[in-house]
Amino acid sequence: MFEKIVLGLDGSPPSDRAFALVQGLAALTTAHVTVVHVREMMIAPAVGGVPRRIDEDSLEAKIQSQIDQLNAAGAEAELRVIVTNYASGPAHEIATVAAEVGADLIAVGTRGQGLITGLLLGSVTQRLLQISPCPVLAAPLDEGGA
């Protein structure tokens, strides 16, 4: 059913939940999984003048480990790291990759924000639901939706 899956990972617990769901789906199919990690540039430059998150190296190592797990389980998985600023946003980058690869499904984690917080801050998942070229699987942090 799902032959091409785009999985948005940011290293967070909700993102780990989306990974677990895609890992289960990939075990049932011969899906190709394109993992997208959007590196959002921060305002203040880091050492060397390159703006970035302090923990970016450890995040990417964790994500690469998850890709290795997918490949070891028989899925075909690859990583795309996209560098962006806040103007374009992760949702647009994930949707663009999904369109490029002809994805059947996008999987992401949710932050579980309340209605007011979601309205004020928005979320990657909410934006993806509006702009995605395919269905979006939004994984809550845990089975209970918390």
How crowded is the C-beta side of 138, counted as CA atoms within 13 Å?
16
* Domain span holding position 41: 4-139
Kindly write down the DSSP assignment for every residue of 6-27, as one continuous string. Answer: EEE--SSHHHHHHHHHHHHHHH
* Over residues 84-108, mean pLDDT: 89
- Copy the structure tokens of residue 26: 């990939």
Instruction: Tell me: pLDDT of 32 over 60.
Output: yes
pLDDT (mean) for 85-98: 84
Structural domain total, the chain = 1
The string of pLDDT tens digits covering residues 8-18 is 998 888 899 99
146 is a domain residue: no
Q: From the centroid of its chain, how far is CA 110?
A: 10
Is 145 contained in some domain?
Answer: no
pLDDT for the residue numbered 84: 80
Query: Torsions phi, psi of 86, nearest 5?
Result: -70, -15
Which tens digits make up the pLDDT trace of 44-85?
Answer: 555 554 555 567 888 899 999 999 999 988 889 999 999 887
CATH number at residue 51: 3.40.50.620
